[in-house]
Amino acid sequence: MRVLRPDGVAMKPLAELPVLDRLAADEANLRSAFRPGEPSSTRLIDADETVSRLRPHFPRLGIVRMAEVTGLDRIGIPVWMAVRPNSRTLAVSQGKGISAAHARASAVMEAAEIAIAEDIPLASFAASRRELLDAGHDVFDGRMLLMRGADEAGADENDYWLEGFDLLKQQPVFVPRELVSLDFTSARQSWHYCQSTDGLASGNCLLEAVIHGLCERVERDATELWRFQRDAGVQAHCVDPAVFGDSGIDWLAERIAAANFVLRLFNVTSDIGLPVFMATISPATQHGTYLHFDLAAGYGCHLSPRVAAMRAITEAAQTRITNISGARDDFDPSEYAQRLAPDLGVYIHAEPRDHWRFDEPEPENRASLETYLEPLRRRGIASVVVVPMGGEDYGMSVCRVLVNELESPAGIRKHRFGGRALNAMLRQ
């Protein structure tokens, strides 16, 4: 489809190939790159090479140093950090993984994707929503992502737009630049939308980034719905990590137990059907009173239940080190003295069940975008928008995935709940 600006001038494409052609080419490359026994998701290149390719670009990305912070905790699950002092958002990005290489690549890629979102290297254009609609273009409905007390720009008010692509409708869609960019400083120019990293993702190719972003959106939706689960439901969904029969998960569980902590894993998969897990780590020694940071949680989503569970466990370990290091710019020091909320005690005392059985997908399906889209389509999700945001100059791809019909984290959004959350509340 040839996309025209409101004045009739053809827009310059975001890349040499249209989005669907890029994704098809990436899928073929990812399938050929599949390595049996890979402990993480399918990658075009391995973790060490990913970091090596990005390292020459650290100055442009604002990354001044990397550090292994695994040793700040006694558990020993690898966690790395990448530091960007002049960030417009958080100065420290952390990464976790089953190995130091995976954790290092995770930290660097997160720092790089945020740097690109803070200064998107793509030209946007000014137009009003009415001009775009009158010219026959599809325009993203951002009302569910408005900030509290804010409204969208008026129909005849000029805004700045980027070109996205709706993977389900298979057509271009224009998205407000503010909605997908990141700037938490007072220098921010526009204040309509609640900016966040939800659905922001990177990869060695566009398809990797899209799959990561889509999994994150499904994960965030599932965890928002999980909040309405009663204690009995939480108990019933506690999974014994041993049921996976996976050496990587067994190693993670052994490290946690050896450090005198308790791992609990919960199957929080929603009606979408893509596997989502929540992991918690808490002290093995029972206390009468627990502090807020005594319970660390992590989440993971992936087509492979094994990979999703591994992501959740490693993220819980990362959460502990984040709490220990105080590396998050947005931490309130008073949180360290807060008591654990009473309703969270169920996660400490839940007993794992070993009746669970999880089927692994065929290897080629892990690189198939359609395999990730079909569960959404079956649940009546009508739109999945991907906004390519650049990164190719650094040998990577960054995108933002937007799915209006899935629930989003609270943040400072004007509309706290969407239809799926309201239905979940009514079912309780």
pLDDT in tens, 169-218: 999 999 999 999 999 998 898 999 999 999 999 999 999 999 999 999 99
Rg (C-alpha) for the chain, rounded Å, is 21
What is the reported pLDDT for 12?
Answer: 46
Report the 10 Å Cβ neighbour count for 363: 14
**pLDDT range class, residue 3, cuts 50, 70, 90:** very low
Nearest to 162 by CA among 212, 196, 201, 117: 117
Instruction: Write phi, then psi, for 203 (nearest 5 degrees).
Output: -165, 175
The predicted pLDDT at position 104 comes to 98
pLDDT of 4 strictly over 70: no
Q: How confident is the model at residue 15 (pLDDT cuts 50, 70, 90)?
A: very low
Distance between CA atoms of residues 134 and 128, nearest Å: 10
Each domain of the chain, given as residue ranges in start order, spans 19-29+42-120, 124-183+191-427
Is the predicted pLDDT of residue 9 greater than 50, yes or no? no
Q: Tokens at residue 371, please?
A: 């395999």
* pLDDT value of position 372: 96
User: For residue 37, what are the contacts with CB-CB under 8 A and spacing of at least 6?
Assistant: none
Q: Taking CA 116 as the corner, what is the angle to CA 303 and CA 415, rounded to the nearest 5 degrees?
A: 65
User: What's the average model confidence in pLDDT over 140-161?
Assistant: 94
Asked if residues 300 and 387 have their Cβ atoms less than 8 Å apart, the reply is no
* Among 245-249, 279-283, 417-421, the least confident range: 417-421
pLDDT above 90 coverage of the chain, percent: 79
- pLDDT averaged over the chain? 92
pLDDT exceeds 80 at position 8? no
- The pLDDT score that the predictor gives to residue 5 is 44
SS3 assignment, position 176:
strand
pLDDT-derived band at 33, boundaries 50, 70, 90: confident
- What is the rounded CA–CA span in Å between residue 257 and residue 268? 23
Tell whether the model's pLDDT for residue 428 goes beyond 60.
yes
SS3 for 336?
Answer: helix
Residue 283's DSSP bridge partners are 261
Return the pLDDT at 330: 75
**Which whole-number Å values give the CA distances from 129 to 18, 162, 383, 401, 402, in the listed order?**
24, 12, 19, 21, 18
CA distance 163 to 387: 7
Pick from 273, 293, 270: nearest CA to 283: 293
Residues in contact with 370: Cβ distance below 8 Å, sequence separation at least 6, in sequence order: none
Indicate if the pLDDT at residue 113 is higher than 70: yes
Q: For residue range 217-240, list pLDDT tens digits in order.
A: 999 999 999 999 999 999 999 999
pLDDT-derived band at 16 (thresholds 50, 70, 90) equals low
The domain made up of 124-183+191-427 has a fold known as: Double Stranded RNA Binding Domain (3.30.160)
Q: Which of 150-159, 285-294, 391-400 has the lowest mean pLDDT?
A: 285-294
Distances in Å between the Cα of 342 and the Cα atoms of 217, 231, 335, 347 are 28, 11, 15, 10
Residues 6+ apart with CB under 8 A from 204: 43, 44, 45, 50, 395, 396, 397
* Strand-pair partners of 92: 83
* Cα separations in angstroms, 261 against 257, 286, 295, 320, 325: 5, 10, 10, 11, 19
The model's pLDDT over 335-346, given as tens digits with 9 standing for 90+, comes to: 889 999 999 999
Nearest to 395 by CA among 208, 115, 203, 212: 203
Task: Return all residues near 244 (Cβ < 8 A) that are at least 6 apart.
Answer: 305, 306, 309, 358
Q: For 289-327, how does the pLDDT look when each residue is reduced to its tens digit (9 = 90+)? A: 899 999 999 999 999 999 999 999 999 999 999 999 988
| 41-100 tens-digit pLDDT | 667 889 999 999 999 999 999 999 999 999 999 999 999 999 999 999 989 999 999 999
pTM of the model as a whole: 0.93
**What's the confidence (pLDDT) of residue 40?**
57
Residue 345 near residue 283 (C-beta atoms within 8 A):
no
Maximum C-alpha span of the chain: 69
